[in-house]
Structure 1
Amino acid sequence: MRIPFRALNRPFLFDYSAELSDVRAVPGEVSVGATAGAVWGRAEQQDFRSRVRGTLLGAAVGDALGAPVDGLGLTEIREAYGAEGLTDLAFGYGRRGAVTHLTQLTLFSVDGLIRAQVRRDTGAWHPPTDLHRAYRRWAATQSDWGPDERRKDDGWLAREEWLYARRDPARSCLLGFGDETMGTLDAPKNPGELGPEAAARSAPFGLLVGWEPQLVAQLAVECATQTHGHPTAYLSAGAYAVIVHALARGESLDAAVQQALAMLAARPGHQPVTDALQHALGAVRQGMPSPGRVEELVGQGTAEGLLAVAVYCALVGEDIRHGLCLAVNQGGPSAVAGALTGGLLGALHGETALPPAWLAELEGRPSVLVLADDFAMEMTQGPALHGPGGSTPGWLSRYPRG
Structure 2
Amino acid sequence: MGATVGPVWGRTEQQDFRSRVRGTLLGVALGDALGAPVDALGLAEIQERYGPEGLLDPGQAYGRRGAVTHLTQLSLFTVDGLIRAQVRRDTGAWHPPTDVHRAYRRWAATQRDWGPDERRKEDGWLAREEWLYARRDPGRALLLGLGDDTMGTLESPKNTGEPGPEAAARSAPFGLLVGWEPQLVVQLAMECAAQTHGHPVACLSAGAYAVVVHGLACGESLDGAVQRALALLSRRPGHEPVTDALQHALGAVRQGMPTPARVRELAADGSADGLLAAAVYCALVGEDIRHGLGLAVNHDGPSAAAAALTGGLLGALHGETALPPAWLAELEGRPTILELADDFAMEMTQGPALHGPTTSSPAWLTRYPRA
2:274 and 2:364 mapped to 1: Cα distance? 40
Q: CA RMSD in A?
A: 0.6
What does residue range 16-27 of structure 1 map to in structure 2 within 5 Å? 16=1, 19-20=2-3, 23-24=4-5
1:399 and 1:125 mapped to 2: Cα distance? 15
Q: Aligned-pair distance for 1:135?
A: 0.1
What's 1:11 paired with? none
| Structure 2 residue identity aligned to 1:362 | L
Pair 1:231 & 2:200 matched: yes
1:104 and 1:170 mapped to 2: Cα distance? 13
Pair 1:331 & 2:300 matched: yes
What's 1:352 paired with? 321
1:325 and 1:107 mapped to 2: Cα distance? 23
What's 1:221 paired with? 190
2:196 and 2:299 mapped to 1: Cα distance? 25
1:124 and 1:309 mapped to 2: Cα distance? 38
What's 1:272 paired with? 241
| Structure 1 residue identity aligned to 2:306 | A
**Correspondence for 1:148 among 113, 117, 126:** 117
What's 2:144 paired with? 175
Pair 1:69 & 2:22 matched: no
**Correspondence for 2:165 among 179, 182, 196:** 196
1:268 and 1:134 mapped to 2: Cα distance? 29
What's 2:209 paired with? 240
What's 1:8 paired with? none
| Structure 2 residue identity aligned to 1:227 | T
Aligned structure 1 segments of 4 or more residues deviating by more than 6 angstroms: none
What's 1:95 paired with? 64
TM-score, normalization by structure 2: 0.99
What's 2:255 paired with? 286
| Structure 1 residue identity aligned to 2:334 | R
1:389 and 1:229 mapped to 2: Cα distance? 40
| Structure 2 residue identity aligned to 1:388 | P
| Structure 1 residue identity aligned to 2:54 | G
2:80 and 2:36 mapped to 1: Cα distance? 23
What's 1:13 paired with? none
1:150 and 1:397 mapped to 2: Cα distance? 13
3-state DSSP of counterpart to 2:328: helix
3-state DSSP of counterpart to 2:208: helix
What's 2:28 paired with? 59
| Structure 2 residue identity aligned to 1:364 | G
Pair 1:382 & 2:351 matched: yes
| Structure 2 residue identity aligned to 1:336 | A
2:308 and 2:53 mapped to 1: Cα distance? 20
Q: Residues 280-300 of structure 1: CA distance to partner in whole angstroms, max 9, x if unpaired?
A: 000000000000100011100
Pair 1:250 & 2:219 matched: yes
| Structure 1 residue identity aligned to 2:294 | C
What's 2:369 paired with? 400
2:54 and 2:72 mapped to 1: Cα distance? 23
Q: Residues 313-356 of structure 1: CA distance to partner in whole angstroms, max 9, x if unpaired?
A: 00000000000000000111100011000000000000000000
1:263 and 1:151 mapped to 2: Cα distance? 41
What's 1:49 paired with? 18
Pair 1:340 & 2:309 matched: yes
Q: Residues 250-274 of structure 1: CA distance to partner in whole angstroms, max 9, x if unpaired?
A: 0000000001101110111110001
What's 2:181 paired with? 212
* Count of residue pairs brought into register by the alignment: 371
1:363 and 1:152 mapped to 2: Cα distance? 25
| Structure 1 residue identity aligned to 2:195 | Q
What's 1:128 paired with? 97
1:300 and 1:388 mapped to 2: Cα distance? 50
Q: Residues 10-39 of structure 1: CA distance to partner in whole angstroms, max 9, x if unpaired?
A: xxxxxx1xx33xx44xxxxxx0xxxx6xx2
1:61 and 1:395 mapped to 2: Cα distance? 28
Q: Residues 124-177 of structure 1: CA distance to partner in whole angstroms, max 9, x if unpaired?
A: 000000000000000000000000112110000000000001000011111111
2:38 and 2:299 mapped to 1: Cα distance? 9
Residues 135-144 or 259-268, more deviating:
259-268
Q: Aligned-pair distance for 1:389?
A: 2.2
| Structure 1 residue identity aligned to 2:163 | L
TM-score, normalization by structure 1: 0.92
What's 2:288 paired with? 319
2:254 and 2:163 mapped to 1: Cα distance? 28
